[in-house]
Amino acid sequence: MYKIILAFRYLVKRRITYLAVLAVAICVFIVVVVMTVLTGLVIDFRQKNHSFVGDCVVGTESLVGFAYYEDFVKILEQSYFVEGISPVIKSFALVNPVGSERNVGVEIMGIDAVKHSKATGFGKTLYYRKDNVSKAFKPAYDPNLLGCVIGIDLVLERDAKSRYPYGSGPTDIPLAISCFPLNAKGALAKADAGLVKTQTFYYSDNSESGLARVDGSMVYLPFEQAQLLCGMAGPVKRVSAIHIKFKPNVRLEAGCEEVDSLWQSFKREKADEKQAYLLEKVTVQGWKDYRRAYIAAMEKEQTMMTAMFGLVGVTTVFIVFVVFYMIISHKSKDIGILKSIGVSNVNIIILFSGFAFLVGLLGSGVGLFAGWLFLLKINRIEDWLFERFGFQLWDRTIYAIGDIPNQVDAKVLAVIILSAIVACLVGALVPSRQAAKQKPIETLQVTQL
Amino acid sequence: MLKLFLWLRYLRKRKIVFLSVAAVALSVALLIVVASLFTGFINVFEQSAVETVGDVVLAPPIKFGKYPLFIERLEQTSAVKAATATLSTQGLLYLGKGNVRMVSVWGIEPGRREEVTGFKRSLLKQKKSPDEPSFKVSGTPERIGGFVGVGVVAAPDEKTDEYDFDAVEGMVGQQVVLITSAVTEPGATEGTSKLSSLKKKVVPFLIADIVFTGAYYVDKTFIYLPIEEVQKTLYPNDAGQIADQIQIKLSPGIPADVAIAQIRGLWQGFVDEQLNGDPYLKRYTDIETAKQMQSQYVAELRKQMGVLLLIFGVVSFSVVVLIFCIFYMIVRLKQRDIAIIKSCGTASSSVALIFVGFGACVGIIGSAIGAVLGYAVTKNINTIEEWIRIIFGLKLWKSSVYMFSKIPSEVDWSSALPIILFAVAAAAIGALIPAIVAARTRPVEILRYE
């Protein structure tokens, strides 16, 4: 009991302690704000990637694709854990808005809009056909034309508030899209204009996935047409990938393992087929692995930032050390009395460690509250700064970021609080040991009183 | 003298002061490294733009003819050292079995380009050759040759982020196929509804050399062909010489705004005289320095650097608190020293100055150590990053993410100096209140017998 009383007493009576609390609070405040924003960005980016890809991808990086996918789709359809399956064609293409001299290199994805929306979040990224995905490739101005969905950044420019100037409907823009059709061996297949296949599509909708690289380079085409353009619609049809969504109760890892095992047995079954060699390069990946190259970059930045804060946080440990050193050097008589009445060294260390814990807890509490308050208003503050001084944390015309993320993550908070308390305990460790080592016979001498 | 004596004594005797020195050093080093990395990145980014397009770019909204005449006139002015034309488009490149890439195609004049941008140093094969860069492929003079960015034909190693240059050089002489669109019937520039008519064109060519600039986007996106060849492909019906951009190297010592004004005047005269005074070309032609072209992104980078320095600056405020605590402790423990000094007739202000000066001393020593540490870390940042990769398997810097293959490792002293001064001032401020407490010490109370 005396440990609690003394710890509280030191906290209240020794004003120098407030400085340690202040230092902890500043550190916690900054770390809470920065890590919340960073974590928010990373989580948002991961979610957008997840939504873009679905749960699992069976695919190859080769533009030749792989054959017999229809048989594997049937196997997947019969499995208990799959909710959505979408075969996809992926390639590069050259786009010419008809009538202009412009040539634009783009990535193309051939999809069945309905199937792809069941397997991924594609449907939600549309603007005009969000509520009727089946008509994604039917231009509103003439549903009989062959439509294409264009990545939003290829068509419209984002304003400073991260908004796009959408019109009431897509404009009537015919686009000539050309590809190199490849045969199953990867060689150039003969096509209508020598080695190139061209088809005209009409702008039917936009897709805003929130991923800058995707929205700035992707054109979605109807599956069958993309298959023809890329030379994958031969007697043995091919696709680049199959995107899969698992049922809600299926864990990602378990689902991917199931798909992998189905794929391996499928591959063995098809081993004697003519184009079985194309199956060798096919991999089964969960969405995290499939988009690892992109996600890892952001996660690394978060790690680097954490390391830098850890480095700066050393100063807080120093402050706690100095404050405790001061308090202990002033409280040698208290310690002497405590020890003279039989308090053990361990209990003295516990007393000051408890005190350090209180400093850490209080500092974290204050920092946390201030951080939470700041985060609550962070977007309003940014709006105000933008209106008054034209300042934005990120220029939204450059970065595909909406509001500044301000959802406090309980896990992150727990780690920050724990780190702050541990820092205080570490800072108080050496002074506490010194206090424990003091000898009452020396500190309580008449000459010392 | 007394002050110096006391500073040295406190520094020697009160070991706890080294904590404040360490804290100052840590904060200064961190801020210097952050500022240097950002500034270095911005400098490399701007320099890379200059090395890609020259000092100044003249970019009309549409293609124009008779460019050799305009270049000749440009080179006669005092502001321009050299100029070269480009004709650009986009296309798809078939590199071999199952390997197709989308590329930006630049029709260039290799000799002139070398004068404007020092292009030759980026060519893997020809960089050591004394001759000017050429599209010729040995043994097949009749075939079209082209340069291909290293990132177009290969990908950097996943772990080391380095290209296998031996394998890449082996691709020289290999045939690749480009498809792009040829304008068979040009459209109207303005006002009428006449549309252009395009036809797909297949251009097979041999790889004459590989381009490695170190700028990921440039290396991954661009291929270079002779400008005449690109013109023949894109505009088969145009007889004259056509370009869509002029890239210019300025004479040394010429201010950019003066040069731009001169170039603009020359351009207006050229359009009037040679291009029928086309108002579209006169009104909408951009003439900017390479740095101005990047200004929006650079401003964003500078802003981010400011925000990051502010964040670390606020956290570093703890240093002030730390110095306050340590000095306060010293003042409380050294009350008798202070009383004796004051009893000898030292003024309160002088006593205060001892501690403020001591604080500044801590700041100077800490900043000096921090500056050395910051310098060492920045200079060896690529080695440190490599060691982190070897030990933890974590590749922090990837050219595909951060645009360049190497981390900029130049210390930005213009940012470091304010940081150092700020640290010294912060240390002095931290010592201020303890100094006032010391100055207020009453010898009569401290030195009483009882």
Task: Note the pLDDT tens digit of each residue in B121-143.
Answer: 999 999 888 888 999 887 787 78
Of the candidates A63, A60, A26, A7, which has an alpha carbon nearest to the alpha carbon of residue A423? A26
Q: What is the pLDDT along chain A (449 residues), one digit of tens a residue?
A: 666 777 677 777 777 788 888 888 988 998 999 899 999 999 999 999 999 999 999 999 888 999 999 999 999 999 999 999 999 999 999 898 887 777 889 999 999 999 999 999 999 999 999 889 999 999 999 999 999 999 999 989 888 888 898 888 888 889 989 888 888 888 887 655 567 788 899 999 999 999 999 999 999 999 999 999 998 988 899 999 999 999 999 999 999 999 999 999 999 999 988 889 999 989 999 999 999 888 888 888 888 888 888 877 787 888 888 888 878 877 777 788 887 887 788 888 888 888 889 889 999 999 999 999 999 999 999 999 999 988 888 888 888 888 899 988 888 899 999 999 998 899 888 888 888 887 777 766 665 55
Q: In the block, which residue shows the tokens 């002088």?
A: B350
Cβ proximity of A68 and A238 under 8 Å = no
Strand ranges (DSSP E) for A102-217? 104-111, 147-151, 174-179, 197-207
**Domain boundaries defined on chain A:** 2-47+295-448, 61-281
Which range among A220-229, A347-356, B317-326, B404-413 has the greatest average pLDDT?
A220-229
Instruction: Read off the tokens for A262.
Output: 């189905």
pLDDT band at B185 (very low <50, low <70, confident <90, very high): low
Contact A63/B91, CB-based, under 8 Å? no
With CB atoms and an 8 Å threshold, state whether B94 touches A325: no
Cross-strand partners of A201: A175
Q: Where are the domains of chain B?
A: 2-45+297-446, 61-284
B-contacting residues of A 2-41, CB under 8 Å?
16, 19-20, 22-23, 26-27, 30, 34
B92 and A93: CB-CB below 8 Å?
Answer: yes
Cβ neighbours of residue B213 under 8 Å, at least 6 residues apart? Answer: B48, B51, B52, B122, B149, B219
Q: Give start and end residues of each alpha helix (H) in A54-91.
A: 69-78
Q: Can you give the pLDDT at residue A253?
A: 94
> CA-CA distance, B314 to B320, in Å (whole number)?
10
A198 touches chain B (CB under 8 A): yes
> Under a CB-based contact definition with an 8 Å cutoff, are residues B181 and B164 in contact?
no
Mean pLDDT to the nearest integer, B94-113: 90
Q: Residue B358 and residue B434: Cα distance in Å, rounded?
A: 11
Report the DSSP pairing between strands A197-207 and A283-286: unpaired
CB neighbour list of residue A403: distance below 8 Å, 6 or more residues apart: A379
Report whether A352 contacts A330 (CB < 8 A). no
C-alpha to C-alpha distance for B368 and B361, rounded to whole angstroms: 10
A57 phi, psi to nearest 5 deg: -130, 125
Tell me how crowded residue B138 is: count the other CB atoms within 10 A of its CB: 10
Which band of pLDDT confidence, cut at 50, 70 and 90, is reported for residue B72?
very high
CB B389 within 8 A of CB B365: no
Looking at residue B191, its pLDDT comes to: 45
Residue B223 C-alpha, separation from nearest chain A C-alpha, in angstroms: 13
pLDDT single digits (tens) B371-389:
999 999 999 999 999 999 8
Q: Is the pLDDT of residue B253 over 60?
A: yes
Contact indicator for B419, B35 with CB cutoff of 8 Å: yes
Q: How many CB atoms lie within 10 A of CB A114?
A: 16
Average pLDDT value over all residues in chain B: 87
The pairing of strands B80-96 and B99-108 is antiparallel
CB contact under 8 A, A179 and B326: no
Q: What pLDDT shows up at residue B36?
A: 94
Q: What are phi and psi of B10, to 5 degrees?
A: -65, -40
Question: Which pLDDT score is estimated for B192?
Answer: 47
Question: Which chain A residues contact residue B26 at CB under 8 A?
Answer: 311-312, 314-315
Tell whether B217 is within 8 A of chain A (Cβ).
no
The pLDDT, as a whole number, for residue A192 is 52
Q: Cβ of A317: how many Cβ atoms within 10 Å?
A: 22
**pLDDT > 90: percent of chain B:** 46
Burial-class residue B256 by CB neighbours within 10 Å (0-12, 13-18, 19+).
Answer: middle
Q: What are phi and psi of B445, to 5 degrees?
A: -80, -40
Torsion (CA) B48, B52, B58, B61 in degrees, nearest 10: -100
Return the residue matching tokens 């786009």.
Answer: A95
Global pTM?
Answer: 0.84
Instruction: Judge: A98–B326 Cβ closer than 8 Å, yes or no.
Output: no
Reading the block at residue B435, the tokens are 């100094």
Q: Is the pLDDT of residue B229 over 80?
A: yes
Mutate to test the interface with A, among B18, B28, B34, B92 (most CBs of A within 10 A): B92
Q: Where are the alpha helices (DSSP H) in B334-403?
A: 335-343, 348-379, 381-392, 399-402
| Three-state DSSP state, B297 | helix
> Residue A220's closest CA among A157, A286, A126?
A126
If one counts every other C-beta atom within 10 angstroms of the C-beta of residue B170, the result is 11
Report in angstroms the alpha-carbon separations of A40 from A55, A289, A299, A348.
21, 20, 11, 43
pLDDT score of B190 = 46
**Greater model confidence, B440 or A70:** A70
Residue with tokens 């009569």: B444
Q: How far apart are the first and last CA of chain B?
A: 32
Q: How confident is the model at residue B449 (pLDDT cuts 50, 70, 90)?
A: low
